[in-house]
């Protein structure tokens, strides 16, 4: 096993949270190593147009956006290892992160391995991802204006996605494999009350139909009779749940029942001092690129502050209370504006 030098910070995961953490950490001179995974980019790699990430006026393709994030952090010195982490040991410091035969050590670690949308697992679904097959209605519903769409799933996500889609689509068909629903009664009632939503139960999607690289419909199979029917549809929304990518960490980091990591309120700190978590690996509510990026920035600032405190100079960290924010001894108070608010400090 090769022993590499101990680094200040290792970031595990290459999605919006990991790359944003890398950008902030690199700009704080922490020389982060990002072990981004062979499938770097995360869920945005299976998304086409992203129109709700601030700053991209015309929208951008998901994979292109991830390349931009990656390159921006690299510009400030982030280093990448395009491999999957095979194990971690957070029981003692420096922490150990193992990639195959190689071991990397760091004083602080940010876990940003994200979550994966569950897939139906059929070939035509994979082929038409981002071309009418979507895993996020909030992200993509806008592209299905005046179209008929199908949602697969019977949980709260499926109901929420179906309801959201009714703002754009002319008709939403929910296909669920059982008669009973996992969704909460209130969500189910809301969906049932919406006249744009139809339900087909005891049925599964056998195939996604496409022409010229776009979804044109789905072939569904009745689980009682075995009969198949082709439903015309401009899009298929797969809402059969998400799984946090946390198998590597479950024994060492606190997590909830489905496996999402637990962080302290208002912080990205996990139960192990020096280990932080950001993005969808923590968040099963918002799940947006912009929210993941936001918590990635928080994790880098938390890590920077942790490292500075370890080295005995916490006040130099970016998130430490700013001495210059208070009037230094012998200096006048900050000038008051006419509304009685202090004028903005330079940061
Ligand atoms: P769930 O695990 O609750 O539901 C997944 C659904 O997909 C189930 O109905 C399941 O069927 C179905 N399913 C799973 N795999 C397949 C498959 N291969 N083919 C067809 N159907 C499949 O996941 P959700 O994402 O809906 O919810 C996750 C959590 O988040 C829940 O706790 C939920 O309450 C919460 N949530 C809350 C919301 C809210 O309150 N606004 C909104 C969204 C989520 P089956 O039932 O047969 O197993």
Which CATH number belongs to the domain containing residue 199 in this structure?
3.50.50.60
Q: Do residues 26 and 7 make contact, with C-beta atoms less than 8 angstroms apart?
A: no
The answer as to whether 109 is a domain residue is yes
Are residues 18 and 158 both part of a single domain? Answer: no
Are residues 107 and 127 both part of a single domain? Answer: no
The answer as to whether 210 is a domain residue is yes
pLDDT of residue 337 exceeding 50, the answer is: no
Q: Does 160 sit in the ligand 1 pocket, CB within 6 Å?
A: yes
Tens digits of residue pLDDT in 252-294: 999 999 999 999 999 999 999 999 999 999 998 898 999 999 9
pLDDT of residue 5 exceeding 90, the answer is: no
Q: Give how far Cα 254 sits from Cα of 104, 251, 263, 264, Å.
A: 23, 8, 8, 10
Tens digits of residue pLDDT in 130-170: 999 999 898 899 999 999 999 999 999 899 999 999 999 99
Are residues 161 and 310 both part of a single domain? Answer: no
* Protein residue with least CA distance to atom 43, ligand 1: 157
Are residues 233 and 257 both part of a single domain? Answer: no
Q: What is the domain range of residue 18?
A: 2-116+242-316
d(C-alpha 261, C-alpha 271), whole Å: 10
Number of domains making up the chain: 2
Q: Do residues 34 and 81 make contact, with C-beta atoms less than 8 angstroms apart?
A: yes
If you measure from the C-alpha of residue 84 to the centroid of ligand 1, how many angstroms do you get, rounded to a whole number?
28
* Protein residue with least CA distance to atom 23, ligand 1: 241
When the pLDDT of each residue in the chain is averaged and rounded to a whole number, the result is 90
Segment holding 293, helix H or strand E = helix 289-310
Q: Which of 222, 238, 254 is the last residue of a domain?
A: 238
Q: Give how far Cα 332 sits from Cα of 174, 327, 346, Å.
A: 66, 7, 16
Nearest to 260 by CA among 250, 271, 272, 269: 250
Q: Does 175 sit in the ligand 1 pocket, CB within 6 Å?
A: no
Choosing from 140, 280, 283, 302, the catalytic residue is 140
Q: For 195-199, 217-221, 320-324, which range has the lowest pLDDT when averaged over its residues?
A: 320-324
Q: Please provide the size of the chain in residues.
A: 347
Catalytic site residue 146?
no
If you measure from the C-alpha of residue 242 to the centroid of ligand 1, how many angstroms do you get, rounded to a whole number?
8
pTM of the predicted model, to two decimals? 0.78
64: left (phi over 0), alpha (psi -120 to 50) or beta: alpha
Q: For 93-102, 125-134, 327-336, which range has the lowest pLDDT when averaged over its residues?
A: 327-336
Q: Does 153 sit in the ligand 1 pocket, CB within 6 Å?
A: yes
My answer on whether omega of the bond before 50 falls inside 30° of 0, hence cis, is: no
The answer as to whether 323 is a domain residue is no
Q: For 113-122, 297-306, 308-317, which range has the lowest pLDDT when averaged over its residues?
A: 308-317
If you measure from the C-alpha of residue 11 to the centroid of ligand 1, how many angstroms do you get, rounded to a whole number?
30
């Amino acid at each position: 096993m090769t022993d590499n030098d101990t680094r200040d910070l290792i970031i595990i995961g290459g999605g919006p949270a990991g790359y944003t953490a890398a950008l902030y950490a690199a700009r704080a001179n922490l020389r982060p190593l990002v072990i981004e995974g062979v499938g770097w980019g995360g869920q945005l790699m299976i998304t086409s147009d992203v129109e709700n990430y601030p700053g991209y006026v015309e929208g951008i393709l998901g994979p292109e956006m991830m390349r931009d994030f990656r390159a921006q952090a690299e510009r400030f010195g982030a280093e990448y290892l395009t491999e999957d982490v095979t194990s971690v040991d957070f029981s003692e410091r420096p922490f150990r992160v193992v990639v195959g035969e190689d071991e990397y050590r760091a004083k602080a670690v940010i876990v940003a391995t994200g979550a994966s949308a569950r897939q139906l697992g059929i070939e035509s679904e994979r082929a038409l991802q981002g071309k009418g097959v979507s895993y996020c209605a909030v992200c993509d519903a806008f592209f299905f204006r005046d179209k008929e769409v199908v949602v697969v799933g019977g949980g709260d996500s499926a109901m929420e996605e179906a309801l959201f889609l009714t703002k754009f689509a002319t008709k939403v068909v929910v296909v669920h494999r059982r008669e009973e629903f996992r969704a909460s009664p209130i969500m189910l009632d809301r969906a049932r009350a919406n006249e744009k939503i139809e339900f087909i139960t005891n049925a599964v999607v056998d195939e996604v139909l496409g022409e010229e690289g776009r979804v044109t419909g789905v072939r569904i199979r009745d689980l009682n009779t075995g009969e198949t029917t082709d439903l015309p549809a401009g899009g298929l929304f797969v809402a059969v749940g998400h799984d946090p990518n946390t198998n590597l960490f479950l024994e060492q980091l606190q997590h909830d029942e489905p496996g999402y990591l637990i962080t302290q309120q208002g912080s990205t700190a996990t139960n192990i001092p020096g280990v932080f978590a950001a993005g969808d690996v923590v968040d099963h509510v918002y799940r947006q690129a912009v929210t993941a990026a936001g918590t990635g920035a928080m994790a880098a600032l938390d890590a920077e502050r942790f490292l500075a405190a370890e080295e005995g100079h916490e006040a130099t960290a970016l998130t430490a209370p700013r001495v210059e924010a208070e009037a230094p001894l012998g200096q006048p108070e900050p000038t008051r504006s006419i509304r009685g608010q202090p004028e903005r400090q330079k940061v």
